[in-house]
Amino acid sequence: METPEKIAVMGGGSWATAIAKMLLTNRDHIHWYMRKQDQIDEFIRLGKNPFYLSSVKFDVNRISFTTDINEIVKNCDTLIFAMPSPFLKEHLKKLKRKISKKFIISAIKGIVPDENMIMSDFFHTMYGVPEDNIAVLAGPCHAEEVALERLSYLTIASKDRELSRALVPVFSSNSIRVSTIDDVDGIECASVMKNIYAIVAGVCHGLKYGDNFQAILVSNAIQELNRFCNAAYPQPRNVSESAYLGDLLVTSYSKFSRNRLFGTMIGKGYSVKTAQMEMEMIAEGYYATKCIKEINEKYQVSMPILDTAYNILYEKISPLIEIRMLTDMLR
């Protein structure tokens, strides 16, 4: 397969902005879909995203902006979705053109609420996109460090190895190393679940648990993640690889992690609603907690860390009580 020609970034947040920066290292021109026209107008005027990663300058002459999702689908063969998962269906409601023959790259590290579907399943089942036309962009890779051109590693997962290989030069640069893998389901599952564990890590940080306990928490989290992935998406995989464990580590420990920040605020006594309002960003792990909890009703995997997150976020049980109970379950 040849390298995709007309590529669109779908979304206006920090991760979408980081992806656009990566693309423009290797492409002369990209298309970019954003929901709000005022954001586009300010972007063009300032030469940068006014709301996210605003230190990153862009040559706006190399970008075709639009708020019309149908226009972007008409003009592009490859769509990179990078908006928060809770808003995906809202954007796609406006879609009148078919995307079944497009190449879909999901950079969404979340799950579709209500349907409780990972992104690749959602696009395949609901929009008829062939599995071989779908790829997933995974970490460990924080948008902020991409913007700072710090050495970062991406993983591209697709069931079509030719598609994965064709996408490598699209994202590679001096500061971005790219590898490929065929475990689409496992990578997506890990990308969803690491946000849940990062929230719990943040709660523990807010409650002033130290590094020793954080290490125990994360080592138990990767085991829990592995148990669930093996039950829900069975296939051989090594969760110690960077796309699984590395992404979990950086999301659980990094100062750039919004899920860890969200958890830290809750550990310090904020309510869920207050933490969400003050952050002004989406913590994907909040939505993922409910979705994975509901999915696990089918598989009945032992997931004490997930249960802890659910009880704190949705049952409104005291973080202090829940984490104290969790400490007796971990080894």
**3-state SS class at 31:** strand
In angstroms, the CA 90 to CA 77 distance is: 22
Q: Which amino acid would we find at residue 308?
A: T
Read off the DSSP letter of residue 6. Answer: S
Strands 134-138 and 152-158, how do they pair?
antiparallel
Cα torsion 87, 122, 2, 142 to 10°: value is 50
Please give the Cα distance from 160 to 18 (Å, whole number).
Answer: 25
CA atoms of 286 and 282, how far apart (whole Å)? 9
| Catalytic machinery residues | 194
